[in-house]
Chains A and B, each alone.
Chain A
């Protein structure tokens, strides 16, 4: 699964640490998601969509391997 968290973060001009704090996870978790090493749960995806004020489908998209 691919995601646009880094881009969305740049649009809001917030750091990984700030984003992590907003959705109550660690900075390393945000880093893992951004680097596609970890696929977040639906709850976390919805929390991210709330922060970025965008649909989950606009932030995450399926890969060929999925």
Chain B
């Protein structure tokens, strides 16, 4: 295959990925909210209702991430070009905030621990759940704020 044909095939593949809409229909938002409420209630009541608290906590946390992702990717009732623009801006802000939070929060935690209990202060990175949760919550917060003041 010639280089030009390879480039064309690559371009077509990229266009296919680019044109695909990575969004779910609007009614998925309700499913996401219900799932989020169930995951939250499970996390709150896990100590009183279940024996294997750690396993339930792990499942509830993953459920919460899936629920947030579903809400994040659900379309609005009218998904017009302004909404798509606001979505892109909110995604960019959430990504930047996520990276800054991942880099700075462990340092803040360490410095606060040094001030309060210096003997127990250990530098530890944030876990993946906290980072993903933070990014999706930031996205939702900014998206709905932009939407409100559009």
Q: How far is the CA of A40 from the CA of B150 in the complex (A)?
A: 13
For A20, A41, A43, the residue with the greatest tally of chain B CB atoms inside 10 Å of its CB is: A41
A14 at the interface (CB under 8 A from B): no
Number of interface residues of A (CB under 8 A): 13
Which one of B47-55, B66-74, B78-86, B130-138 is at the interface?
B78-86
Q: Judging by beta carbons under 8 Å apart, are A38 and B80 in contact?
A: no
Q: Is A29 part of the binding interface, using a Cβ–Cβ cutoff of 8 Å?
A: yes
| Binary interface encoding of chain B residues 96-119 relative to chain A, with 1 for a CB under 8 A from any of its CBs, else 0 | 000000000000000000000000
> Is A32 in contact with B80, judged by CB distance below 8 angstroms?
no
- Specify which chain B residues have a CB less than 8 angstroms from the CB of A44 in the assembled complex: 81
CA–CA, A44 and B83, complex, Å:
14
Count class of interface residues, chain B: 10 to 19
Q: Please indicate the chain B residues that have their CB under 8 angstroms from the CB of A7 in the complex.
A: none
Chain A residues near B (Cβ < 8 Å): 20, 24-26, 28-29, 32, 37-38, 40-41, 43-44
**What is the interface of chain B, defined by CB distance below 8 A to chain A?**
76-78, 80-83, 85, 147, 150
Q: Can you list 26 A-B contacts (CB < 8 A)?
A: A20-B78, A24-B78, A24-B80, A25-B78, A25-B80, A25-B81, A25-B82, A26-B76, A26-B77, A26-B83, A28-B82, A28-B147, A28-B150, A29-B81, A29-B82, A29-B83, A29-B150, A32-B82, A32-B150, A37-B150, A38-B82, A38-B150, A40-B81, A41-B81, A43-B81, A44-B81
